[in-house]
Amino acid sequence: MTEVASREQKVSARERSSWLLRNIRVLLLALVLLLIAGLLLSVSFAAFTTSSANADNIFTAGSLSQSNSAANQAILAADNMVPGDVVQGTVTIRNTGESDGAFRLTSSTPSDTPGPFGGKLSTVLLLQVVQDPGTLDTVVYTGGLDDMDDPVDLGTWAGGTQHSFKFVVTFPEGGTPPSPTTGDNAFQGSSTTVEYTWTATST
């Protein structure tokens, strides 16, 4: 009789271990839920309390906004460009909010319409962006019109401050074309359009 009970106990212990192994995920989940529940309970339980008030603590969310002198319009545009032409335009961006903002400039991928000889104008035009022309004259970007792949960091501006930017686009002279359809001639009749976006993030 005692041997039978011992065997039953042995079987029972084995089964328990096996059951534990099989259901270990359920057990872990239950433990996590219990832990979270415990945390919530510890937060929500209160016994004796006393309090004193510091009234009229007013919190106002800072604001971040901007004005763009060329909002929803082109900063610069040029018709009938030929090699050697340089065009420029200026835009002023102002942090009209109260918060400091980290400003950056991004360019869309230029939309090209090749000319009859197949050249894409965005691949030959050069762009230079100068921040605060005439004062600081900081060149924040120089490169191909189609090469502004990464956002250009313009720094952190305090609320109420503004900066102007001069965009200069150059159609460089590539020398005498070797044929009527190659060299700079490949770009005859082509056009390209690009969009610039100014983004500010509160800091």
Partner 1 sequence: MAVPEVGRPAPRDEEVDGTEPSGRPVGPADAERVSATERLGILGNWRLLAALIAGGSMLIVVATTLSSRAFFTTQSTSPDNAFHADEVDIDVANAGQLINGAGLTPGVQRSGTQTITSFGHRARLELDATDLVGGALLDVLVVTVRQTAPTSVERYSGTIRALRDADLGVLQAAAAATYTVTVSWPADRTDPGLAGTSVSFDFLWTAVSVQ
In single-letter form, the type of residue at position 107 comes to S
Q: How many C-beta atoms surround the C-beta of residue 167 within 10 A?
A: 21
Least distance CB 48 / partner 1 (angstroms): 28
Q: Half-sphere exposure (CA, 13 Å, Cβ side) for 40?
A: 6
Q: Decide: 88 and 128 in contact? Cβ < 8 Å.
A: no
Q: Which stretch binds partner 1 (CB under 8 A): 19-27, 42-50, 135-143, 148-156?
A: 19-27
To which residue do tokens 């001069």 refer? 166
Interacting residues with partner 1 between 139 and 198 (CB under 8 A): 145, 167, 169, 171, 187-198
Residue 138 to residue 164: CA distance in whole angstroms: 11
Interacting residues with partner 1 between 87 and 126 (CB under 8 A): 87, 89, 91, 93, 97, 99, 101, 115, 119, 121-122, 125
Total residues contacting partner 1 by CB under 8 A comes to: 71
Interacting residues with partner 1 between 22 and 81 (CB under 8 A): 24, 28, 31-32, 35-36, 39, 62-68, 70-81
Q: Decide: 157 and 200 in contact? Cβ < 8 Å.
A: yes
Residue 75 to residue 196: CA distance in whole angstroms: 9
Least distance CB 55 / partner 1 (angstroms): 27
In 3D space, the residue among 121, 37, 113 whose CA is nearest the CA of residue 87 turns out to be: 121
Give the pair of three-digit tokens for residue 46. Answer: 């209160």
Least distance CB 187 / partner 1 (angstroms): 5
Least distance CB 141 / partner 1 (angstroms): 14
Least distance CB 135 / partner 1 (angstroms): 21
Q: Which stretch binds partner 1 (CB under 8 A): 18-26, 47-55, 130-138, 151-159?
A: 18-26
